[in-house]
Structure 1
């Protein structure tokens, strides 16, 4: 039997091909069927525990931040208003704004020492008795579906005097944002005492007895962990569909069974084909060489089982493959190092770019370099030292680079030039971020100074203008003036009114830029508001013999929630612009609504606007040059102010025109609040 194989290269090839070709598939198939399922399930459990720990950490951090926010608000001197008569004004406004900033289902309210709600972000809670007043000393507790977080309010002028409590009523359903929303993963939080569930309504049947456990059922792989702190009676449950977790395994087994059939046929055909003569092994070796070259898989080697020339050729072939494999391995390791450095560079950039101040930027940078170099002796120094990373920033006033400081990392100790370039790149990132922080600070300071200047100057100008208007009206009404004198005083009054209107526009712009203008929402009958604006401006249109029409047939709403003053100011600005820049023809206004929005459309046959100039009209203090400017001067704030107010109301103002002399169309649309 042994001589049969030794003397017959054909038989050796046939048996060897079958054995080598099918054995790996057989081993892999057995391993897959008997061992992979358990490993996949265990890996799934491990991943779900990791995910559960991350979610618990996020929820704990979230609740901690809420506590800090409540403690901060309760410490404000504004809370002294509890003992004054206007408690429902300033504190309620603050609580309403804070509740809006949270963007969560929650409410904020102040409870005095008698358990009475005296200020709230929701008006319906005012002057109601808080039944759980005695529990507020616990700081945090859960009742039903709500988490209550409270903080003692102390008088700012007498810290021993207790004024009451600031309470946050937080709907636990808000925590669904931290849970998984994937199709085949069920996650929820359940209170073991009350049975209240937050998250996936498809609660999995699991017995919550331990602090942390995994459960495998016919359909699901389930893990659960118990919360600590205020949520100590609640569990975080994660369940993965078992069929989905093992889907890839089942498909792989089917693929292996199918491919093994094709491999068997392929091996037999190849063995028979290339074992017909004594030369066939050489041909097979040649083809194997070509295959390795084409696919660049240098891990293969051929067994030496004979003592003839084929053995010598095979040994040389194996030595060549091994040498190539070693060279590729060294190259792969070097590439991995370069890739690791590249990834670290990206991570450093992502963390440095998030810093907000120069000190934070330096501190974060040193920490990151320490993590990379495994050194804890790195420091930042304003004094230049040898063998350190120097940082240079831009002096924006003189437009040149100046020395900022150094990080004590000796670059000369690195023999690899690529490593030196790596740390120099980090230094460049740090310097760029420092430039960015300095530029932002410089820009914000300039912007704040501009807004403060505009606001202060506008306020200073209003007082003398009001006096001019008052004296002008007094002269016209009570003094015996000639016709020319009355016209002169009338011009003074109208000019003062014009300047006062311009200053009011500037103040409104300054308020919007400072974020101090807010919408006062109420139920509004838009038909009456639009009609009022139409009737107010109709005399101006009649003076120019314009066709001035109002269409409200497609408007079907009784009332909407919006700010009537802002709405009317926007409509008035659009109509006055249309009348001002229309010499003849028409100005038409149309009020209509759809399922999603309410719109006011203003169309005129006026001078029109070039398409390239349309966007400029929405910039502050901008007017487009045209023949009408000689008779209609303005600040260029009308459309800009209208657009900003429209955005505050949750809408926008758009302007369209086919060009000069072809009229224009302005439209204000917004989504009314429910």
Structure 2
């Protein structure tokens, strides 16, 4: 049997490969086991996390409901008629008796206090009356912050005013409940391997139901954090305890104990099988690899020495011998092919270098005639001994001649026109497909340069015409507009006009002023695009920038007062920080942004805030006006962009203000962007300034 098996192995590589592949099949199987191992662990961890999340939310909900009931109780007590005894210091001790009874009813670590309007204790369940309540100042501070609770050490203080129906604007006193947060531990679950922590970061207060390992401290509250030893779950409280979080820490070893025992058994079982598989695969692989190693060594010698005369001699009766013969044939053909490729690559590289030189020379030309003359000259250098010519006529086909038609773009009519034809007189290359493709590439280069020359000429002509037109129109339009403004201002001051005539003249003045502003905006835009706006970039401290903002606010203040709007400014950046800007351009930008904010705000106000945003300084101009949709914000920085709703609201605008402001900001490395939560929710214009390093 062994001799027959060995005979099969020696004569058939296919059978050996089958056995080898069968052996190799165990490797993916092991990887599958490893994958299942990790998947099983992850499944247990996910189940544990889901259970702990549910338990933690139950504890959290119970605590929140309990605290809510405490809050309702003190409000109920404050509404009782007997609380009016606060003004007479609880002479008959009714309030004290009520508080003591309520403390017994509530249970837990709770103390109740009744305070008069000056913060003096009238009755309590913890401490003597007729003394100033130790947290009276914190109560007043909480009232200013419009909240009914605050923290003091390990205590949560809940309070509510005691009011009368006759004098609600001034309470008689306050009913206060002091809750010891250590009492939260009675709501926790008692489970093996589970630790519960109530953590209040702002108060630096930790309440542990059971000792928590130092390495398992939550740090910053993330919902789930898995460490090497623990599963840490955090959940922030809602409502009164919103400043705190509940943390569950689960010992990972306890959660995974059953799975680990099962996996140890499985891996022990497979260890013996894997050892047997490894021994058998080594034995089979050794017999297969011996003839293959000869081929590998021959290949290595060829790669190392580049000697393609190497041949392989393999003596066997299986597929390896056929592979060796084919390998020898392949090496011989490769040797011959490489020699041909080297020669062809050398020629192609030379042709490519010549083509680059040809293109570099023709792209320097600025006129069509010079481009054609340079192309013919360079083609003569590129193909010495060949004759080239150019004709304006369209030549389709001439025997023994390569015809290269040149078509150029007519950008005004968006069409292509025939420019001429380059002729190469060479009968041999006229039938060579590769040569034809090369010459067509050359003709495409020439056509691209001709297109570029025409396009540049058209752009220069259009730019010159645009500048001339705007310069002429600025003079032609400004002169009559100034005349109209002077006449209307004279008529407004003339006392002989009736009120309706005065209104019409004011309308004419406003329209003329709007046209003059639009002309000034257009001229500003043209100057920016022409690079004629002087820019002086230098470092300014944030204190200096603050003065520029205040100057802009003063200029816009009159417009805001006319509409009954408020203007506020807050600087949140240290004065010594520096930014790069141009103070004159910055002032103009701020005036544009503030004008827009006031223009499109009917009620409320405009808030200006300067703060750091990442590695830049930002100035936010926020209004309470009409707001914008996302689509409108995307299009608003395009020139001459306006929206119908602004026109309906009576606001006039050229649609250039924001476009000009962004272009001015970018002149000193700044930028502008708009943000809005939607129509009717106001707009925030953010101006970015680069910090001076």
Query: Please, what TM-score do these two structures have when normalized by structure 2?
Result: 0.48
Query: Please, what TM-score do these two structures have when normalized by structure 1?
Result: 0.49
| Structure with the greater alpha carbon radius of gyration | 2
